[in-house]
Chains A and B, each alone.
Chain A
Amino acid sequence: DTAVSQTPKYLVTQMGNDKSIKCEQNLGHDTMYWYKQDSKKFLKIMFSYNNKELIINETVPNRFSPKSPDKAHLNLHINSLELGDSAVYFCASGDTDTQYFGPGTRLTVL
């Protein structure tokens, strides 16, 4: 009964490819997020979705696009992958007090 799950856990791909990372939460939260942890270990917000509306969009390249088919899912699509996209991507969902994170997806772009 994992609260926030992500697939795949590891993703290795070539530059220029398009890939997706899936995220699902069973906590009934209205808001879901994507974070990126870069090589310097900083965790930074990328997107959040509340009731299918994008409410935060930090300075992320438009090659990244979140897609939410329903309240329990927020998938991350990445087009034309670049070397600098290599990082660990975390999905999270939140209630009024805190956010709960998935296990992360380590993306390696070769």
Chain B
Amino acid sequence: DQQVKQNSPSLSVQEGRISILNCDYTNSMFDYFLWYKKYPAEGPTFLISISSIKDKNEDGRFTVFLNKSAKHLSLHIVPSQPGDSAVYFCAASAVGGSQGNLIFGKGTKLSVKP
């Protein structure tokens, strides 16, 4: 049973436009959420995170929104660049990122076309 779901396996966006990647979770005990970016043949790279006490966290072109009542989070990338093309994983933790294990979604492959 997947506790973290990324229902869109792929997303294609034009360069310069906004990319919106979505993630849903089922476990109400999750209190920390992270987004990772992964290029082929490389390990996941940490992108941005958000604690459950917040509803928004922004870092440059990347913004994560958390809607706890809907158990939904999203990653916005604006403007999208071709170098953003990668697989994006949503992850959640019940005890914080380090003390607890991360539960990952299946990933969404983002393609940004020039």
By a beta-carbon cutoff of 8 Å, the part of chain A in contact with chain B is 4, 29-31, 33, 40-45, 48, 50, 55-56, 58, 90, 92, 94-104
B75 smallest CB distance to A (angstroms): 15
> How distant is the Cα of A90 from the Cα of B96 in the complex, in angstroms?
20
B98 touches A101 (CB 8 A): no
Query: Which residues from chain B contact A92 at a C-beta distance below 8 Å?
Result: 43
> How distant is the Cα of A58 from the Cα of B101 in the complex, in angstroms?
10
Contact of B101 among A42, A45, A104 (CB under 8 A): A45
By a beta-carbon cutoff of 8 Å, the part of chain B in contact with chain A is 34, 36, 41-46, 49, 87, 89, 91, 96-99, 101-104, 106-107
Given A31-B98, A103-B43, list of 16 further CB < 8 A pairs? Answer: A30-B98, A33-B101, A41-B107, A43-B44, A45-B103, A56-B101, A90-B43, A95-B98, A96-B96, A96-B99, A97-B97, A97-B98, A98-B49, A99-B97, A101-B44, A104-B43
